[in-house]
Amino acid sequence: MELNPKLPEGPLAEKWNKQKFNLKLVNPSNKRKYNVIIVGTGLAGASAAASLAELGYNVTAFCFHDSPRRAHSIAAQGGINAAKNYQNDGDSIYRLFYDTIKGGDYRAREANVYRLAEVSVNIIDQCVAQGVPFAREYGGLLDNRSFGGAQVSRTFYARGQTGQQLLLGAYSALNRQINLGKVKMYTRTEMLDVVVADGKAQGIVTRNLRTGAIETHAAHAVLLCTGGYSNVFYLSTNAIGSNVTAAWRAHKRGAYFANPCFTQIHPTCIPVSGDHQSKLTLMSESLRNDGRVWAPKTVATAEKLRKGEIKVIDIKEEDRDYFLERKYPSFGNLVPRDVASRNAKEVSDEGRGVGASGKAVYLDFADAIKRLSEDTVRAKYGNLFDMYYQITDENPYKQPMRIYPAVHYTMGGLWVDYNLMTSIPGCYALGEANFSDHGANRLGASALMQGLADGYFVIPYTVGDYLATIGPKPVDPNHPAFAQTKKDVEVRVAKFLSMKNGNKTVNEYHRDLGHIMWEYCGMARNEAGLIKAKGLIQALKEDFWKNALVMGGNEEINFSLERAGRVADFIELGELMIDDALMRRESCGGHFREESQTEEGEAKRDDENFSFVAAWEYTGENQPEKLNKEDLIFENVKLTQRSYK
Amino acid sequence: MSGNMNLTLKVWRQKDVKTPGKMVTYPAKDISPDMSFLEMLDVVNEGLIHKGEDPIYFDHDCREGICGSCSLYINGRPHGPKQGITSCQLHMRSFYDGQTIIIEPWRAAAFPVVKDLATDRSAFDRIQHAGGFVSINTGGVPDANEIPIPKPIADEAFNSATCIQCGACVAACKNASAMLFVSAKVSQLALLPQGQPERYQRVQSMVAQMDEEGFGNCTNTAACEAECPKEIKLTNIARMNGDFFTAKFFKSDEVHA
């Protein structure tokens, strides 16, 4: 199939307006004849469900949680960008567009990113009107802060809980539509497949997580708003339940998976404390504004420290290596996420890491406390320091924090055109589940913006075009594709449930997969490592299907079964990520390809050969996936190489 | 590893809502004080799976205290012995070697047990459906800065809005009252200008739904406030009661438009 992003013609600033005019409309009295399925109720899903129901469509929404409000968008801390220019500091739609496309290291579509910047201003208006309690100035107007190294203050926030407040806003809009009977909400229900009938997505197959009932649901369009796949690394800042299954099942039914190896690693997370660790906790990157990152200068000192022979406060100034300040004198501790992360890992790999595991470096506030006073530091970062204390039992006012990078966000995802439609007609992907707006690296405070842009302001227009084209004729739930897809799911569930003689739990396989991905397909990769990882994953997959142990039966709550399905999909995704990373022989955005670096050892992008979106096409079980390329054309921005020296 | 603990767990096991449950004793061996409470349960569950036994089911997801899924009644207290945190933020260093830990689900008629330690809290969602929103559609809203809100009001509304809908307030209350939860949403929107047009209708609808779900009434014991992981204040209940009675001054057709 030819990859057509369906980008509108004309100047950048007019594209979206033009598109909105050219998209077909559904007659108001016809809207109630259409059913739309929405899977996932995070920012993208809840906002889309509410907005489409308001327009008059019949919406059926699904989440695997016990309540739609528990989606992982709720955990986002920092903020949401919008080009409001309320601070009169020179921001504009064009500047937000430019920063975002540059931040993504020129691997996103200009038109998509410009539209994102354009609708960012509407998002803030919408959320405020819903009663989202954003931070305010004493004069009663909205407060902004600069975030993630941006030169302008365009980030709106609600203390350290912006994601929570935005999601509760979308959840309230969703609740209103549930109350009005326009949204039928299924909780504790997991999507296990997409029904593709006559070449179009016409429904899904779900499993009721309480009763085990496997059911089909028919609709004119299916929207996947199912988040990212960071948990392929086992340990990440994602929630335990976050998974790739919905997206992966769609992929195996014909939706291309784009740029899977584009993942974001966040430098300031609380390090792993042992094998029992189930997830990692992010500490806001604002900490790097005042904290200084360092590690012991020598391996010998680090070893003594790890054995408990010396204490961190005993290490003299001259025995400390403030490696970010040393290597990047002009940006220092404020280098971008990928640079900070990679350097922390390098230092730890050299044997200079700290903490019991040796997988951590220090983030030290002693100088900031001296300069500003403990009270000022407390006022700025008190909640983060408390959180750190809670988890580690170490007082960061008295000794430096230990930090280590962790996987945080995935820029890759289902390939979508400008209208957010995947390569399966009628199947859409919104929010982190798609690949579209962040290129090879996402800027801080942009994830919330994209999720809500897709749900509130893009899909209500674009889905109408498709629906108007196919017409309001009811979907036939007796089409053989429904029974067939349901049967496929039942066979798969039965296969898992037959795995009773294995000797390894599903969770143990997941952890093994995570180790492979982190070691060979994390922030730095090379060809030899990736080839090795591919072999390891293939072996893991084979072993999983032979030796994994799955408990219980279908007609009950069975998280062993739920996890088995998710881990099996993660293993397959992991292999595709390795293929994608192998193919992309350039350093770009969050990824350092060791074969592609400057003489100074910094990331080197290769625009000549890799200025494209890699959209992978599933070709069959255990067959290599087919690479489709969508060339990225830059008409408005000049491609430059990043430098932080 | 030195410093690790051996504990005895007494866990509520219940197959489903129809089957009677019982307490079952499990050893939890070699538990690191750095583990979170849920990670300790993970370790016990991995052991159970290896032995071919049904693992203990409990709700959890984000494991950083914000999604509101986890809901364990630990040694007689919702979310365990520490204040201002959820079960997932509790670490094993809060316990001692040799201790017996009793783990139960939330106990309330309106929260029937789903399995083991997980309960059905959909009653909370239905209360939100009844009125926990501002009736506006997407698009066509005023510019965000056209609605100035004094900072102290915005901050107070935020304090109410931090509720994570975990249900600890109900579990803590001898009456299984949901007043703290309902009043937090009512207060958030009653404080803000955006919530004014539907203010009195909202409080009536949400309270009516709360009563219908079978939650008890408030007798001002304040156990909810003491156990709330987000430290939502009792003043929310006072504010809700004020609005609830004020609404009685309106004709019912003015309130229930």
DSSP code string of A563-597:
HHHHHHHHHHHHHHHHHHHHH--S-BTTBEETTSB
Main-chain dihedrals φ then ψ at residue A528, nearest 5 degrees = -60, -45
Task: Tell me the sheet residues that pair with A81.
Answer: A155
Cβ-defined contact of A178 to B129 (cutoff 8 Å)? yes
Confidence of residue A364 (pLDDT cuts 50, 70, 90): very high
Q: Which residue of chain B is at minimal alpha-carbon distance from A504? A: B50
Contacts of A391 (CB under 8 A, 6+ apart): A270, A281, B36, B89, B91
* pLDDT at residue A410, as a whole number: 97
Between the CA atoms of A64, A68, A74 and A79, what dihedral angle is there, to the nearest 10 degrees? 130
Mutation target to probe the B interface, by most B beta carbons within 10 A, among A54, A125, A188, A230 is: A125
Distance CA A139, CA A160 (A): 21
* pLDDT at residue B2, as a whole number: 59
Q: Which residue of chain B is at minimal alpha-carbon distance from A167? A: B67
* pLDDT at residue A382, as a whole number: 86
Chain A: closest CA distance from residue B113 (Å): 11
DSSP-based three-state secondary structure for A153 = coil
Structure tokens that stand for A283 in this block: 């500490």
Contacts of A461 (CB under 8 A, 6+ apart): A19, A20, A23
Contacts of A141 (CB under 8 A, 6+ apart): A86, B145, B148
Q: Which residue of chain A is at minimal alpha-carbon distance from B152? A: A138
Average pLDDT of span A437-445: 92
Q: pLDDT tens digits for A189-210?
A: 999 999 999 999 999 999 999 9
pLDDT at A352 over 90: yes
pLDDT at A311 over 90: yes
Cβ-defined contact of A74 to B115 (cutoff 8 Å)? no
Chain A: closest CA distance from residue B139 (Å): 7
Chain A: closest CA distance from residue B6 (Å): 15
Cβ-defined contact of B55 to A559 (cutoff 8 Å)? yes
* pLDDT at residue B21, as a whole number: 98
Beta strand spans in A228-329 (E): 257-258, 263-269, 292-296, 320-321
Q: pLDDT tens digits for A40-75?
A: 999 999 999 999 999 999 999 999 999 999 999 999
Main-chain dihedrals φ then ψ at residue A145, nearest 5 degrees = -140, 160
Q: How far is CA A558 from CA A64, A204, A208, A213, in A?
A: 13, 21, 11, 12
pLDDT at B135 over 90: yes
Q: How far is CA B241 from CA A98, B190, B244, in A?
A: 51, 12, 5
Cβ-defined contact of A172 to B147 (cutoff 8 Å)? no
Which pairing describes strands A58-62 and A183-186: parallel, antiparallel, or unpaired? Answer: parallel
The vertex-A98 CA angle with A96 and A101, nearest 5°, equals 105
Average pLDDT of span A414-439: 98
pLDDT at B27 over 70: yes
Q: Where are the domains of chain B?
A: 5-115, 122-255
pLDDT at A645 over 90: no
Q: Is B159 exposed, middle or buried (0-12, 13-18, 19+ CB in 10 A)?
A: buried
Mutation target to probe the B interface, by most B beta carbons within 10 A, among A63, A168, A186, A231 is: A168
pLDDT at A149 over 80: no
Catalytic residue among A107, A109, A207, A337: A337
* pLDDT at residue B254, as a whole number: 64
Q: How far is CA A528 from CA A525, A593, B138, in A?
A: 9, 11, 51
Distance CA A376, CA A391 (A): 23
The vertex-A416 CA angle with A52 and A92, nearest 5°, equals 75
* pLDDT at residue A1, as a whole number: 57
Q: pLDDT tens digits for A499-530?
A: 999 999 999 999 999 999 999 999 899 999 99
* pLDDT at residue B256, as a whole number: 55
CATH number, domain B122-255: 1.10.1060.10
Q: pLDDT tens digits for A318-331?
A: 999 999 999 999 88
Beta strand spans in A350-493 (E): 361-364, 401-410, 413-414, 427-429
CATH superfamily of domain region B5-115: Beta-grasp domain (3.10.20.30)
* pLDDT at residue A160, as a whole number: 85
Average pLDDT of span A226-239: 97
Distance CA A179, CA A172 (A): 10
Average pLDDT of span A443-471: 97
> H or E segment at A467?
helix A459-470
Top mean pLDDT of A49-58, A269-278, A310-319 is at A49-58
Structure tokens that stand for A645 in this block: 């020296």
Catalytic site residue A442? no
Q: What is the DSSP letter of B145?
A: G
pLDDT at A171 over 50: yes
> H or E segment at A545?
helix A527-547
Average pLDDT, chain B: 96
Q: pLDDT tens digits for A76-131?
A: 988 999 999 999 999 999 999 999 999 999 999 999 999 999 999 999 999 999 99
- Helix residue ranges per DSSP H, A253-355: 299-307, 323-327, 337-347
Cβ-defined contact of A179 to B129 (cutoff 8 Å)? yes
Q: Where do we find the tokens 């538990």?
A: B31
Confidence of residue B22 (pLDDT cuts 50, 70, 90): very high
Chain B: closest CA distance from residue A62 (Å): 14
pLDDT at B137 over 90: yes
Q: Which residues of A touch B52 (CB under 8 A)?
A: 551
CB neighbours of residue A476 within 10 Å: 14
Q: Where do we find the tokens 């730095």?
A: A524
pLDDT at A388 over 60: yes
Confidence of residue A284 (pLDDT cuts 50, 70, 90): confident
| Range A266-407 has CATH code 3.90.700.10 | yes
- A86, A175, A557: residue with CB nearest B129: A175
CB neighbours of residue A344 within 10 Å: 28
| Range A34-265+409-470 has CATH code 3.30.930.10 | no
Would you identify the CATH topology of the domain A484-628? Methane Monooxygenase Hydroxylase; Chain G, domain 1 (1.20.58)
Cβ-defined contact of A131 to B32 (cutoff 8 Å)? no
Q: How many CA atoms lie within 13 A of A533 on its CB side?
A: 29
Confidence of residue A218 (pLDDT cuts 50, 70, 90): very high
Q: Which residues of B touch A279 (CB under 8 A)?
A: 63-64
Q: Which residues of A touch B164 (CB under 8 A)?
A: 164
pLDDT at B187 over 70: yes
* pLDDT at residue A379, as a whole number: 82
Distance CA A494, CA A361 (A): 46
Main-chain dihedrals φ then ψ at residue A550, nearest 5 degrees = -120, 130
Burial B130-156 (b: 16+ CB within 10 A, else e): bbbbbebbbeebeebbebebebeebeb
Chain B: closest CA distance from residue A357 (Å): 13
> What global pTM score does this model have?
0.97
Q: Which residue of chain B is at minimal alpha-carbon distance from A452? A: B138
Average pLDDT of span B59-87: 97
pLDDT at B257 over 70: no
Structure tokens that stand for A7 in this block: 């980008």
Structure tokens that stand for A48 in this block: 């889309």
Q: pLDDT tens digits for A527-550?
A: 999 999 999 999 999 999 999 999
Mutation target to probe the B interface, by most B beta carbons within 10 A, among A118, A154, A162, A172 is: A172
Q: What is the DSSP letter of B142?
A: P
Distance CA B167, CA B70 (A): 10
Average pLDDT, chain A: 95
Confidence of residue A298 (pLDDT cuts 50, 70, 90): very high
Of A150-164, A222-236, A476-490, A524-538, least confident by mean pLDDT is A150-164
Structure tokens that stand for A235 in this block: 């340990």
Distance CA A269, CA A358 (A): 15
